[in-house]
A and B are shown apart, each in its own frame.
Chain A
Amino acid sequence: MTALRLPDDQPTPVAARTVAPRIGARAVCEALVREGATTIFGYPGGTVLPIYDVLREFPLRHILVRHEQGGAHAADGFSRATGGVGVAIATSGPGAINLVTGLATAMMDSVPMVAITGNVPRALLGKDAFQETDIVGIALPVTKYATVVMDPDEVPLAMAEAFEIARSGRPGPVLLDFPKDVLQLETSAPHPEPHELRLPGLLRPVRGDVPEADELAELIGRAERPLILAGHGVQIADATELLRQVAERSEVPVAHTLLGIGNMDETHRLSAGYAGMHGWMHVNKAIQQCDLLVGIGCRYDDRITGKTSTFAPRATIVHVDVDRSEIGKNVRTDLGIVADAGDLLAALLRRLPQSEPRTAWLEQIAEWRVVSEARSWHGSGAWREGRLSADYVIDRIGEATGHQATLVSDVGQNQMWAARYFGFRKPFHHLSSGGLGTMGYAVPAAMGAALGTPERETWAVVGDGGFQMTMQELATLVQDQIPVRIAVLNNHRLGMIRQWQEIIYDENYHSAELLGPDLVRLCEAYGIPAWRATKPEEVDGVIAEARKAPGPALIDFHLDEAQNVYPMMLPGKGLSEMVEGGAE
């Protein structure tokens, strides 16, 4: 440990030296490079300027966001699309606090991320100095770990540990707070080798074979109407291929949660589809009728289960999760297995014999599906009468991109339409704030996704409400020419709010009408090509135009304003009590 050097003992400014000293800020950047970071998202400020002063020396592309929340969401989008660890930087006080929504979003969805914040110099900590805030205290409940690094010699180890915590086991965001002088002082501390990390309290899943799979394989063998409910954990474990093999071996249909979209190609004969509050009726029926429900890497959260006492009433419920604390948290669990989803699926595959086709069960689901899709396919059906509806827009984006684009949805009706109608084929191609439900997520997260996966086409699907929450990032898209195609599903209202007020609050509409700018002219001001579509027949044309743009592009889809998302499970009700609409 070096002695604590206080502000009256300021380090010599970097520029005054002939050989640049290895200061804390350089150790931070070295560590980022060592951890594989290539693109980082940040916003400078007084306390992180030591990092910005040396950033040019490192192979790190810094994206200057327009608000720290955008930086956090961009890092999140980068992580989800690439499977890596996104990085966000913010200064002390307001800058750090602006990260919080993004940290909580990542925490709820188990997204690895490292957030780096500056703070006031050590001697000023706790003295209400300019732009001082206790960001570690604020971040504790919304991060997997948050700590302040008080010694320049601790920088390399703290950075390595932050990345290890973020990506190990059940991933999550980590915040490291650096007092400014820790970034300015010299350190010769080496970067640690993996075995030198001091993380005795970090829960690491037991890896390898999962003997408990014996029991599960037996349950699957005995079941007549089994169903797998696959969540985000399958993709986090990079186990979608194993999931397909298990489904095919056992002839068990697979439903998915919102963040489980992409676990199975939706056209696969065993892909049942999207379950839950706005999921497909046939999938929810299958959950209610199955005799074995195998949840893998999901949380059985309230948007999936509805009233837990009536959830899957005929089923033996199995829950596989890498996080022990998830098991039994929400639903009755007959068999809980703490394991990595990939390990469990591999263990199952070794044990399962090839099953006979479960013809009766699959035909039953197919029968329900016909009814379910006839009722709600393309929702209101308004597009058939020449009125533009969101389901049609999403379907056309899916078709135009061959269902290969990354689609980042926002929150609300747009999110549900995207989940239902895009037709996802691959993992890591659907990004959405599922747990926290953060409006304003889509545009900045799409920015991160597009930068992380330049080989893919990236679309942000967002309502006019969510768009207006983070539309300042349009400038970032322009400055760095980030090729995000933004589809604004514009109904001039907070659609999901209005839907709830219509159905649950007796049509007592309040604050649901939303004034917005002329988006085409707004984009003109930013220098972003933009189109408006108001009729179904214009949709394919503008999508084709937007796809040709070398940088960002935006389409303002003016929707039929009366469109709701159906079916819908009302709050406090169960999966068997869904409200079906689509008949208007």
Chain B
Amino acid sequence: MMATAPRRQTLPAGEPDAEHRRHVVSALVIDRPGTLNRVSGLLRARSFNIESLTVGTTHEPGKSRMTIAIRGDDGHLRQVLAQLERVIDVLEVHDLTTVPHVELELALVELEPPDGPDAESRLRAALDAAGGELITPADGSWRARLTATPTEIDRALEALRPLGLRRLVRAGAVAMTTTAQTTTPTENGEPRA
């Protein structure tokens, strides 16, 4: 967690890892025009391709939370997160990848109407596996929402594709730590001991 990183640091050389691991980054930011631009601009300048980025309000007025799913080598990303941390409108940055967290995504799909009971049961099974639920089936269309981890949604989509996936909209991942908050940011953004 960047905001609580110790002042003393030992870091290996900045050689890139071969593997570009998926990271889920959570940033608490000030809700103000331009904040998204600052964050995404910094990631762009460092050539990161954002897999998904969501922004929404939090329990605290005036503060928003961004969840950024991103692939990149660990050392490079750690350095970029430290740079994100110094953006004036960014209050906290955490890489959730290394701490217990829950991650969920919402997806909306429109499907071909199944051409028989067998197809329908396969479709329903795929939806069930990803927290899916049919919405407005009465109008003859087959639309559903899926609420699951991004990986579960990926799998469900693989199963749905051969059954006729007409349209897909994904919301991007949101995530939250599942450990108790150990620090509370003070007024000036520095964590309390």
Interface residues of A (CB under 8 A from B): 136-137, 140-141, 144-145, 147, 165, 170, 199-204, 206, 210, 212, 215, 308-309, 323-325, 327-339
Selected from A201, A215, A328, A330, the residue in CB contact (under 8 A) with B87 is: A201
Q: List residues of chain B with CB within 8 A of the CB of A331.
A: 13-14
Q: List residues of chain B with CB within 8 A of the CB of A215.
A: 8
Known: A140-B37, A337-B8. 4 other contacts (CB 8 A): A201-B29, A204-B190, A309-B13, A325-B85
Q: Does B130 contact A (CB under 8 A)?
A: no
Q: List residues of chain A with CB within 8 A of the CB of B34.
A: 136, 140, 147
Q: List residues of chain B with CB within 8 A of the CB of A145.
A: 88
Given the known inter-chain contacts A136-B34, A200-B187, please indicate yes or no for A328 contacting B11, CB distance below 8 A.
Answer: yes
Given the known inter-chain contacts A140-B34, A328-B75, please indicate yes or no for A199 contacting B7, CB distance below 8 A.
Answer: no
User: In the complex, which residues 30-89 of chain B have their Cβ closer than 8 Å to any Cβ of chain A?
Assistant: 30, 34, 37-38, 41-42, 45, 75, 78-79, 82-83, 85-89
A278 CA / B152 CA spacing, docked (Å): 56
Q: List 22 A-B contacts (CB under 8 A).
A: A140-B37, A140-B38, A140-B41, A165-B88, A170-B86, A200-B185, A201-B30, A201-B90, A201-B91, A202-B88, A203-B85, A206-B7, A323-B86, A324-B9, A325-B83, A325-B85, A327-B82, A332-B13, A333-B11, A335-B8, A336-B10, A336-B11
Selected from B5, B42, B88, the residue in CB contact (under 8 A) with A324 is: B5
Selected from A140, A165, A170, A337, the residue in CB contact (under 8 A) with B7 is: A337
Leading 5 A-B pairs by shortest Cβ distance: A328-B11, A325-B82, A336-B9, A332-B13, A325-B83
Q: How far is the CB of A213 from chain B (nearest CB, A)?
A: 10
A329 CA / B87 CA spacing, docked (Å): 17
Given the known inter-chain contacts A201-B89, A336-B8, please indicate yes or no for A329 contacting B13, CB distance below 8 A.
Answer: no
A565 CA / B48 CA spacing, docked (Å): 38
Q: Does B189 contact A (CB under 8 A)?
A: yes
Q: Residue on A with the closest CB to B11?
A: A328
A201 CA / B7 CA spacing, docked (Å): 18
Asked if A202 and B189 make an inter-chain contact with CB atoms under 8 angstroms apart, the answer reads yes
Interface size on B, as a range, is 35 or more
Asked if A308 and B13 make an inter-chain contact with CB atoms under 8 angstroms apart, the answer reads yes
Q: How far is the CB of A303 from chain B (nearest CB, A)?
A: 16
A372 CA / B41 CA spacing, docked (Å): 45
Q: How far is the CB of B84 from chain A (nearest CB, A)?
A: 9
A73 CA / B14 CA spacing, docked (Å): 33
Q: Does B188 contact A (CB under 8 A)?
A: yes
Selected from A147, A203, A309, the residue in CB contact (under 8 A) with B86 is: A203
Selected from A140, A324, A337, A339, the residue in CB contact (under 8 A) with B85 is: A324
